[in-house]
Structure 1
Amino acid sequence: MEQPISTERGFATGAEARRAVREGRLSCQTSSLAPGFVQGNLVILPQDLASDFLRFCQRNPKPCPIIGMTEPGDPRLPDLGADLDLRTDLPRYRVWRDGELVDEPADILSHWRGDLVGFVIGCSFSFEEALIADGLEVRNVAAGVNVSMFRTSIPCAPAGRFAGPMVVTMRPFSPADAIRAIQITSRFPAVHGAPVHIGLPEQIGIADLGKPDYGDPVEMRDGELPVFWACGVTPQAVIAAARPPFAITHAPGAMLVTDLKNSRLSIL
């Protein structure tokens, strides 16, 4: 179930945003939350599945670009934030058993185990800042809603027991702005890079842009094209398909805000 969006959104740093999460002052959607700071998707798996998932990410770098990975049993990633704790620092989590969603807690302290390995995966919220800085309207940000996300018919390359469909985010642009969006996001491969598809959503298995599988619908205006980027929610579709005994993810749109600056991810 989608959680309400916090009205407190003006954070100067990633550390301030994480503090607000821990103190219960922030719930769910984090797009544009702490401008300038990298956000990440989360996947946590038992150690005996971690190597398969790592290979899955390596074979599918568009939807699953890894920006951080923990040691078994350690919830901290000092390279992404000195005080960062994967158990408490996301607004909402999802707990999975045998591929079924069983809980959506505000923290995972009671679910944490000594054999768990955390993966932080790049998020397209990071390149939204660059789009906006170039004068492009990012519709979900302008409307104050979560980005639209869709399961597609695009298969991911399998690895071990992990296989399933790619999930994409969608943002509408005029044709001219879509070209510019491709140019801008191509500079950010660590947060999904260039789009994987433009227009004709039915060609990638999307029947209705008004009914996203995750997130919120956004307005499509006359003359606009839907532009689709690979999405870090892909592991959740893969977990549902692969049915591992236990997994934890972020709730879609409820990201980990790090201390890493977005500018460090640009290749130009």
Structure 2
Amino acid sequence: MNTLMTIPADVRLAGRSGQFTQPTAGCAPGFIQANMMIVPQAQAFDFLLFCQRNPKPCPLVEVLGPGQVEPACAPGANIATDLPGYRVYRDGELVEERSDISALWQDDFVTFLIGCSFSFESAVMQAGIPLRHVDQGRNVTMFRTNMACAPAGIFQGPMVVTMRPIKSRDVAKVVEVSGRFPLAHGTPVHIGNPQTIGIYDLSKPDYGDAVEILPDEIPVFWACGVTPQAVAQASRLPLCITHAPGKMFVTDILG
């Protein structure tokens, strides 16, 4: 990893300039990374309620006021420019991916920053537990599940999870370490047989990149902040803007 990318502001500025368009896994270790969901103010209360009812996939880091682009968790940053990638959904359909959403910005946009499991990865690796997607420079593996989120207003849909293969001997340790990070989804929501949660082929993720699972490893699943994207599709939300999967907003908050 480029040494400059250990500093949150450098990650954000590289995203703003278009020089960095990769997943942020491994960047700025020790700092909280955030998924992002932007909705018009008319839908903001319902989405806030959705987050409160579903704290595992949607742990709130910050909610910005209508039209606000500079978050308190990263002074000087700009929500509309500083992520490595954005997705735009209309009527539940993904219509485009962009590197900058300034041209789409509306004064009634409300931004939700939601904790990300990337934030606990440096602690997991410091505990001596390797993470294959980080070692291979890949995006984390993500799946839609059969676990329904608690609905709120127009928002309803399935939970999305991340999956990391963990050696059997390390599962208890990774549960303990990730549990220290409630803003990063905390402890896993499922360990072992993926079919129990509606996942039938670990080689075909819904988002991110597939990684190999070795014979001495167990798939471990954490709630994921990509859940709002699945919910936006299931709810046929008229308009929302999200981060591209794996391409997070990096805050100045130490985890």
Q: Which TM-score bucket, shorter chain as reference?
A: over 0.9
Once residues 255 and 115 of structure 1 are traced to their aligned partners in structure 2, the CA distance between those partners, rounded to angstroms, is 22
Provide TM-score, normalisation by structure 2. Answer: 0.98
Count of aligned positions:
255
Letter in 1 for 2:244: A
**Is the alpha carbon distance of 1:9 and 1:106 closer, same or farther for their aligned partners in structure 2, counting shifts above 3 Å?**
farther
| 1:102–1:8 CA distance, 2 compared to 1 (3 A) | farther
Any conservation in 1 of the 2:30–2:123 contact (CA below 8 Å)?
no
Q: Please list every run of 5 or more consecutive structure 1 residues that lacks an aligned counterpart in the other structure.
A: 1-6, 263-268
Shift of 1:209: 0.4
4+ long deviations beyond 3 Å: 7-10
Would you say 1:27 and 2:14 are equivalent positions? no
Between the aligned partners of 1:255 and 1:209, the Cα distance in structure 2 is 23
The one-letter amino acid paired with 1:38 is: I
Which residue number in structure 2 is paired with residue 59 of structure 1?
Answer: 53
The one of 96, 119, 129 aligned to 1:136: 129
SS class of match (2:202): coil
Aligned counterparts, 1:238-257, within 5 A: 238-257=231-250
From 111, 116, 123, the equivalent of 2:109 is: 116
Q: How does 1:41-60 map to 2 (within 5 A)?
A: 41-60=35-54
Find the aligned partners of 1:46 and 1:150 in 2 and give their Cα distance. 27
**Which structure 2 residue ranges, 5 or more long, are not aligned?**
none
The 5 A counterparts of 1:173-192 are: 173-192=166-185
Give me the whole-angstrom Cα distance separating, in 2, the residues matched to 1:56 and 1:152. Answer: 18
Q: Deviations over 1:160-204 (max 9, x none)?
A: 010000000000112221111001111111110000000100000
- Partner residue in 2 for 1:209: 202
CA contact (8 A) 2:38 2:241 kept: yes
Confirm or deny: 8 A CA contact 1:201 1:226 kept in the other structure: yes
Q: How far off its partner does 1:10 sit?
A: 4.0
Q: What SS is found at the alignment partner of 2:180? A: coil
Q: Is the 8 A contact 1:9 1:34 kept in 2?
A: no
Normalising by structure 1, what TM-score? 0.93
Match of 1:64, as an amino acid?
Answer: C
Q: Distance in 2 between matches of 1:15 and 1:143?
A: 24
Give the C-alpha shift of residue 139 in structure 1: 1.2
Shift of 1:21: 1.0
Is 2:79 aligned against 1:86?
A: yes
CA drift of 1:9 comes to 6.6
Specify the code of the residue in structure 1 equivalent to 2:62.
Answer: G
- Whether the 8 Å CA contact 1:185–1:194 is kept in 2: the answer is yes
**AA of the residue aligned to 2:77:** L
SS in 2 for 1:11: helix
- Residue 12 of structure 1, aligned match among 6, 12, 15: 6
Letter in 1 for 2:165: P
Q: Are residues 1:260 and 2:253 paired?
A: yes
